[in-house]
Amino acid sequence: MNTHLSFVSGAGSKPLIYQTIGNALVEAAQRFPQREALVVRHQDIRWTYAELLQRVDDLACGLIALGFEPGDRVGIWAPNCAEWTLTQFATARAGLILVNINPAYRTHELEYALNKVACKGLVTASMFKSSDYLAMLAELAPELKSAEPGRLASGRLPHLRTVIRLGEEETPGCHNFVAVSTMGGAAERQRLEELTFLLQPDDAINIQFTSGTTGSPKGATLTHFNILNNGYFVGQAMNFTEADRLCIPVPFYHCFGMVMGNLNCTIHGAAMVIPNDGFDPALTLAAVSEEKCTALYGVPTMFIAELDLPDFREYDLSSLRTGIMAGSSCPIEVMKRVVAEMNMSEITIAYGMTETSPVSFQSSTDDPLERRVSTVGRIHPHVQVKVIDSGGRTVPAGEKGELCTRGYNVMSGYWDDPDRTREAIDAAGWMHTGDLATIDAEGYCNIVGRVKDMVIRGGENIYPREVEEFLFGHDKIQDVAVFGVPDDKYGEQLCAWIKLKEEGSLDEAGLKAFCKDKIAYHKVPHYVRFVDEFPMTVTGKLQKFIMRDRMIEELGLTIRQTA
């Protein structure tokens, strides 16, 4: 009988840091004033920590001059750029709550986000890719064109008063970003000094909207204490020091960029290297090569795109040592190639969710490669995790169940949504992740899917992640997504969407022959589609619900109604 339960608690040799993000930046500038802090290649920007702090404080004083008070919400709607980082730290210095708005949002989503958390201010780019941000804002708030900057009164955006636009052009009703940094005087400097001592580490400082597959996005509310500590321990797992230079091609609006990237670098005195406003595999590897980056971040699809560049071998990646692959399930074969071909012998895998700041599990740089490619590592310091069954009982070690997290990293709640907060965080403080996982006797965690993703075919439980890992072993397959679709006879059937390395190099019969006698019959995909791309979020998470809906429509399937 297995009496060892699936519960792990992270013992840390380093204590938790009880400090605000603003004070952490001040400390970094005192310790490493002349070290490079921020390199933004597409903007030709290169600032030391002393320069970064000066620019952050100029902006913070400008925001105070505009009338922002601690606790006010300020949205940022922009791709990766120097202004994003400045806004992240300036709002923290001034005690404002930064609201991350997905650069891919359109008018409906923007309106929802700004109103849900009552944003008083918005920092926005003028445009990015196919998104004309100022046009969308004008559609929602036509009053802007006749408003005095800082005095917007909009019917559809009733809380929004101040719009700050990036770039040199002027827009009616808006302040220019650069101008705001010149608005602070002696009184604002004095107020900023006071806030340095008044603001508390447990204050809310950041709201991030979770991209659920159903319902409206929820605003996960995170504190200084949540995300500063998580950034620190993410870096500790990679042995980060002030000598490291981190290439950050992942988006700032997500925890991967702003917490695991910017906050990690700041508290360690390392350099933040931003290759471009959006992900570009060639520009990313050029940044690594020319800036001598020691670490690189990415979701699996980013690493795949980099490895598949025709001139991949022409980039000098010899400076690389470590990094993180996260954001979605990490294919074992891709991980092996990154280690072997990108010089990332100490790459780690990280697992978490926005609501947990985000990381709960991470592999260490000296974990055996077999462990790093087959698990998400072990528990982070000062974090507790358990795996439970459908009745809420902790399961024995090695058994599947829902992963629950408790500790310093759990959010304070969903903004203005007590009901959904109670659904997610129970009375004992456990955050129910919705992820299916196992934890072995040595404490290594394996994510096997989502509770809602599990496919039940004729009474057999199928975990899509397991089938995906198997199919990744085929040398013709570049990427794969497995999910369930409704079936009259079995309840559900398995469907696989497959992206090939070379078009036409594999057909459905060949795929099923590959599966025959190697995996159980019920795990062989019943439906197979070869595709050029997958619907996914900006952070690289596959949107299987969209794939499922398309297959249901294509196949004319009927969805069973359940009581």
Half-sphere exposure (CA, 13 Å, Cβ side) for 100? 29
Q: Mean of the per-residue pLDDT values for the chain?
A: 93
Amino acid letter, 166: L
Per-residue pLDDT reduced to its tens digit, 9-46: 999 899 999 999 999 999 999 999 999 999 999 999 99
Task: Please tell me the predicted confidence (pLDDT) of residue 328.
Answer: 67
> Amino acid identity, residue 519?
I
- Kindly indicate the confidence band of residue 562, based on its pLDDT and cuts at 50, 70 and 90: very low
Find the mean pLDDT for residues 486-503: 90
Chain mean position to CA 113: 18
**Residue-range domain boundaries for the chain:** 49-210, 455-555
Cα 468 to Cα 244, 333, 445, 478, distances in angstroms: 34, 11, 18, 11
Tens-place pLDDT, residues 78-88: 999 999 999 99
pLDDT value, residue 559: 59
Is 303 exposed, middle or buried, given 0-12, 13-18 or 19+ CB atoms closer than 10 A?
Answer: buried
Q: How large a percentage of the chain has pLDDT more than 70?
A: 97
In CATH terms, 49-210 corresponds, of 3.40.50.20, 2.60.120.260, 3.10.105.10, 3.40.50.980, to 3.40.50.980
561 pLDDT exceeds 60?
A: no
Mean pLDDT within 155-159: 98
Find the range with the poorest average confidence among 406-410, 457-461, 536-540, 557-561.
Answer: 557-561
Asked if residues 442 and 4 have their Cβ atoms less than 8 Å apart, the reply is no
Q: Which pLDDT score is estimated for 213?
A: 41
Using the Cα atoms of residue 518, residue 519, residue 525 and residue 526 in order, give the sign of their dihedral: positive
pLDDT at residue 539 above 80?
A: no
pLDDT of residue 2: 56
Assigned token pair, 542: 């596959």
553 three-state secondary structure: helix
362-410 tens-digit pLDDT: 999 999 888 888 899 999 999 999 999 989 999 999 999 999 999 999 9
Token output for 56: 């952050």
Report in angstroms the alpha-carbon separations of 403 from 65, 376, 378, 387, 465. Answer: 45, 13, 13, 5, 16
User: What is the average pLDDT across 210-234?
Assistant: 86
Q: Which of 477, 453, 332 is nearest to 402 (CA)?
A: 453
pLDDT digits (tens, 9 = 90+) for 303-344: 989 999 999 999 999 999 999 998 766 777 888 899 999 999
Domain spanning 455-555, CATH architecture: 2-Layer Sandwich (3.30)
pLDDT digits (tens, 9 = 90+) for 244-287: 999 999 999 999 999 999 999 999 999 999 999 999 999 999 99
CA distance 297 to 299: 7
Lowest model confidence (mean pLDDT) among 185-194, 211-220, 455-464 = 211-220
Distance in angstroms (rounded) separating the CA atoms of residues 366 and 447: 21
Domains 49-210 and 455-555 share a fold: no
Q: What is the mean pLDDT of residues 522-527?
A: 92
Is pTM, for the whole model, over 0.75?
Answer: yes
